Amino acid sequence: GDPDVKHISPDRPVKTSLNNAVAAVNGRYGWSLGLDGSGIGVAVIDSGIHLIEDLKDASGKSRIKYNLDLIGGGTDDAYGHGTHVAGIIGGNAKNSTCSSCDVSIRGLAPNVSLINLRALNNNGQGTDSSVISAVNKAISLKSTYNIRVINLSLGRPVYESYAVDPLCQAVEAAWNAGIVVVVA
């Protein structure tokens, strides 16, 4: 009855929804065409990748084909974000396929090779130079690992025009090298 209140919205429940990533981009259609990432490399520039069962091939071997630490502290993922991103990209659902599992969570390209370029530290922070170094490394490894995609699930505010911003220039160099760059 208060005239200053336009609307009251209920406090609705929320929950995680990672298992809708594939559906959100119609990933099942790609799978039906046999597109599962086989033979393709994706460079994950993030906080590292921790090797989990979902990131192994059918014979139990790691699909992380290359590791490089550009920030210090090793290539493992103490922060967790890079592993999360790698799972969305290439998880094979092994950890979520069991008799007590209620949903199987599979990444978009469950057979993709992963290139782990750690440019963020244990707090999920890095610098332009660590990310630029990672982008440049991905470009140099393109032919070796058939890198077709670079994933940058990170960001910072805009300070200058893309025409002079060194991070934007690095991303453009990757694009000019024929690599699709996915940026958060």
Q: What is the pLDDT of residues 94-115, one digit of tens each?
A: 887 778 877 777 889 999 999 9
Helices (H), 94-165: 128-140, 142-145
User: Between 128-140 and 166-176, two packed helices, what is the crossing angle to 10 degrees?
Assistant: 10
Q: 61 to each of 54, 80, 93, how far by Cα in Å? A: 11, 21, 15
Q: 148 to each of 113, 141, 165, how far by Cα in Å? A: 10, 10, 23
What pLDDT score does 19 carry?
Answer: 59
Q: 108 to each of 90, 172, 173, how far by Cα in Å? A: 6, 24, 25
- Distance separating alpha carbons of residues 132 and 138, to the nearest angstrom: 10
The band of 166, judged by pLDDT with boundaries at 50, 70 and 90, is: very high
Question: If you average pLDDT over residues 87-95, what whole number do you get?
Answer: 90
The chain-wide mean pLDDT, for the chain, equals: 91
What pLDDT score does 20 carry?
Answer: 62
Q: What is the pLDDT of residues 17-76, one digit of tens each?
A: 555 677 777 888 888 999 999 999 999 999 999 999 999 999 999 999 999 999 999 999
